[in-house]
Amino acid sequence: MLGDNTRRDIVIVGAGPAGLTAAMYCSRMGRRVLVVDKAAAGGKAASTDLIENYPGFPQGITGADLMQRMRDQAFRWDAEFQNWEVTNVRQVPEGFRLSGKTSAMTCRAVIWCAGTRERRLGVRGEERLTGRGVSYCATCDGPLYRGRRVAVIGGGDSAIAGALFLSRLATKVWVVHRRQQLRATKVLQERARQCDNLEIVWNSVVTEIVGEDRVRAIALKNLETGHSQLLEVDGVFVYIGSVPNTEPLRGVARLDEGGYVVTNETLETSCPGLFAAGDVRRTPLRQVVTAVGDGAIAAMSAEHFLASQE
């Protein structure tokens, strides 16, 4: 039987920068708020090495440290935290019914801040060797590759930041990128260029991850020449984009073709009383600073929605 706690005014799904900011605003306004996260509070930002572009920290701050501060601030008032995964959302006369394998909850408004998860390569060997050399988080798993050789797949900010982090631990880092030019910001590209043990493999894709019990190599194909090669590595870090965590919202709110939640400028979705904030919504920039701003706007909008019903 599901543990159905008492009702809440607002349930916030996801305790990353967006959810924690929304929790701070909602609880300071005196609402009964519950924050639900399937993992520890802190979100994706908590596993980022150094955040240099969040205002107020001129020397940068580690993701873990920044998110610890956000957590402390979010729960200073009366917001409550529960650890479970929301797998179903439906509208009921009282508002919304959220449920998962271990719990369920009824509330009047929802702020969906569930972020994104890493896109998989979808090649042979990836699933079998995940956790055995295949990783999606350099800061989490990088220290296991001290003195080893690794490959990073991708060419955006996350890939290059991850490669630079790994270059301080590994003897050699290859960045495998499908194009002839990186997408990462200029400052990261410049740091990559100056890094002695980092080499970029241009115009290439991974066709297989090779190994029995552990990663031994990756098979690459050059998209220009058609040439194939085997690159011997001990670890593969995949950074090829993200997929939004919106499956429970299908049929409830409008999603775009990529699965991101479509919101208006008050961050309300197509379903009244359901708001979305942070990386999970259709937005031109997915960063901590924008997630935090979204969390505040969504909280104010949820407050107006509840007040309009009272």
Ligand X SMILES: Cc1cc2nc3c(=O)[nH]c(=O)nc-3n(C[C@H](O)[C@H](O)[C@H](O)COP(=O)(O)OP(=O)(O)OC[C@H]3O[C@@H](n4cnc5c(N)ncnc54)[C@H](O)[C@@H]3O)c2cc1C
Residues that bind ligand X (CB under 6 A): 13-19, 36-39, 43-45, 48, 51, 53-54, 85-86, 113-116, 158, 161-162, 245, 248, 278-280, 286-289, 291
Closest CB 229 distance from ligand X, rounded Å: 27
Backbone torsion region of residue 243, taken as left when φ is above 0, otherwise alpha when ψ lies between -120 and 50, otherwise beta: beta
Alpha-carbon distance of 38 to 23, in angstroms, equals 16
Q: Residue type at 27?
A: S
Tokens of 153: 């797949």
Nearer to ligand X by Cβ, of 126 and 247: the residue is 247
C-beta of 210 vs 276, nearer to ligand X: 276
| Smallest distance, ligand X to C-beta of residue 225, A | 31
- How far is 221 from 226, CA to CA, in rounded Å? 6
> Is 90:252 a contact under the CB 8 Å cutoff?
yes
Minimum separation from the CB atom of position 288 to ligand X (A)? 4
Phi-psi region of 42 (alpha: psi -120 to 50; beta: other; left: phi over 0): left
In the residue annotation, 26 being an active-site residue is answered as no
* C-beta closer to ligand X: residue 48 or 135: 48
As measured in angstroms, the least distance from the Cβ of 141 to ligand X is 12
Nearest residue (CB) to ligand X, 142 versus 211:
142
The C-alpha atoms of residue 259 and residue 281 are separated, in whole angstroms, by 9
Active-site residue identified among 4, 78, 140, 256: 140
Q: Are 18 and 294 in contact (CB under 8 A)?
A: yes
Interhelix angle 288-309/17-28, nearest 10 degrees: 40
Active site residue 137: yes
C-beta atoms surrounding 131 within 10 Å: 8
- Catalytic residue list contains 271: no
**Residue 280 gets which letter from DSSP?**
G
- 70/217 with CB nearer ligand X: 70
The catalytic position among 9, 37, 141, 157 is 141
Least distance in angstroms from the C-beta of 169 to ligand X: 15
Please name the residue that has the structure tokens 């901590």.
288
Residues acting as catalytic residues: 137, 140-141
